[in-house]
Amino acid sequence: MVSLNKPVADQAYKIYFAEPERHGKKPYRMVIEIAENKLDSEYEAEKPKTPDSFENLSGHRIVLDPGHGGSDSGARGHNGLMEKTATLAISKNVADILRSSGAIVTMTRDSDVDVYGPMASDHDELQARVDVGNASAGNEIFVSIHCDAFTSPSAHGTSTFYYQSSYRGKLLAEAIHQAIVEETGLASRGAKTARFYVIKNSAMPATLIETAFISNYQEEALLGDPDFQYKIAVAICRGISRYFNMR
């Protein structure tokens, strides 16, 4: 039994089993990731072909954060796909499209590494990702890309999160979420508030995308498919483009 000192909103957590870390600090374990939501809120792959481009993104400075990496595999699908692998593949596609559009892109990682380094605590690793984004005052948005997971393989769909006090973060999350649903056909789980560390502590509008459920057999297959990785990357870029058109 897990005791919490306050309620957790529906869909504000994910549960998965994590492999032992290489440095031996953490054994094989069940992980419960909890986002402290307000209950009353509304809530490596093939290179892409010729990249789509979005002219209005030229000159904009965008930070991409592929979730997990290195000693932290994140969630793992029933057929063995690791979250860190899918998020990096999608993020690299996003970066390619953004750069082809003239955007200036910073990635918290562009290979299978820990951002802080080996032996990092969860706090240090997350802060290292935030630090990459906050290092330049010119960076305009922070986009963290993840895969969702749950104990039941029937859970499915896509969602985006933003910090409750960030109006621009809300606009960013909603624009990306709408584009993903439109272009991929994934079920919408909504754009919602949450207190994930990277979106709470970023000095710019930020969103965390749960692209699809790696714990769902069908969505795991999609997340491992280079064509889908590219399709959802285009959707993310389209959402970013729409966001900058709002300004």
The whole-number pLDDT of residue 53 equals 82
Sign of CA dihedral 48, 51, 54, 57: positive
Alpha-carbon gap, residue 63 to 134, rounded angstroms: 9
Does pLDDT of 55 surpass 50?
yes
pLDDT in tens, 88-121: 999 999 999 999 999 999 999 999 999 999 889 9
pLDDT band at 179 (very low <50, low <70, confident <90, very high): very high
Q: What is the mean pLDDT of residues 33-60?
A: 61
Does pLDDT of 208 surpass 90?
yes
Joined together, the tokens standing for residue 105 give 């892109």
Alpha-carbon gap, residue 16 to 94, rounded angstroms: 26
Average pLDDT over the chain, rounded to whole?
Answer: 89
The whole-number pLDDT of residue 45 equals 45
Alpha-carbon gap, residue 97 to 54, rounded angstroms: 8
Q: 0.85 exceeded by the pTM?
A: no
Q: What is the mean pLDDT of residues 32-39?
A: 55
Q: What percent of the chain has pLDDT over 90?
A: 77
Does pLDDT of 8 surpass 70?
no
Do 31 and 21 touch, CB atoms closer than 8 A? Answer: no
Alpha-carbon gap, residue 84 to 65, rounded angstroms: 11
pLDDT in tens, 117-163: 988 999 999 999 999 999 999 999 999 999 999 999 999 999 999 99
- Domains, in order of start, for the chain: 13-245 (3.40.630.40)
Angle at 185 between CA 37 and CA 49, to 5 degrees: 110
Lowest mean pLDDT among 45-49, 219-223, 232-236: 45-49
Does pLDDT of 49 surpass 50?
no
- C-alpha 10 chain-centroid distance: 19
The whole-number pLDDT of residue 43 equals 29
Instruction: Specify burial of residue 26 (Cβ count, 10 A radius: 0-12, 13-18, 19+).
Output: middle
Q: What is the mean pLDDT of residues 4-11?
A: 55
pLDDT band at 193 (very low <50, low <70, confident <90, very high): very high
- Residue scoring higher pLDDT (118 or 168): 168
The whole-number pLDDT of residue 52 equals 73
